[in-house]
Structure 1
Amino acid sequence: KNVKIGSGVLKYLFKKAVKNILPSEIINRKKQGFGVPIYEWFFKEFGGFARDKLNSFNSHTDFFDKKYIDVLFRNNSAQKIWFVLNFVLWHERWIENIKSHEYMETGK
């Protein structure tokens, strides 16, 4: 029997494996996106980390306008902060060559 993965029947093997466990309406429903609780992260749990990281990055680069970053935090623009923070972390890791263990040691 030909098993199609990819452009044929999506997740064929998984669906076949759980067909006797999950209801068919769950197995055959449309694909759903995966939401990330960005707002909660930046304005409740990790807001200080994000703000500190962006301020630190801005202190030695000219990629972002500091006033604009402040506006993002004031306006609770979590998704834009998420994009900027990911760029900063990528830049520090791959361009500035800062390793993840350095984050753990310094907390920055």
Structure 2
Amino acid sequence: MNPEQEFVIVAELAGDRAAVKTENLFLAAQLISIGFGINESSTFNLAIRDEDHRLLVIDILIELGALFSSGRDWSPAELVRYYVELGKISKKFKVISWKNPHDYTIR
């Protein structure tokens, strides 16, 4: 299974933009409806204005069932965990951990 066919995968969230990928047409339409644009490499991007906007985007992505990529250096999953610790996010969210392009774990 290719997780991009079923989910939105959050690849970047800590900087001045959110970057996500999906091949699911329904989810792609949802992303576009909230302001994401798609670039030539099929990545959906949205400029993040401030922390409140970032929290709103995270909330919407959680509602869409997005998978937040784990990793180092403020990965999307680490950033959401940080907001959970601060009490700014209380919803459960999903994390995807990659071992290689075809081996991953969703939790």
Q: TM-score, normalized by length of structure 2? A: 0.30
Could you say which structure has the higher strand fraction?
Answer: 2
- Larger RCO, structures 1/2 (Cα 8 Å, 6+ apart): 2
Could you say which structure has the higher helix fraction?
Answer: 1
Q: TM-score, normalized by length of structure 1? A: 0.30
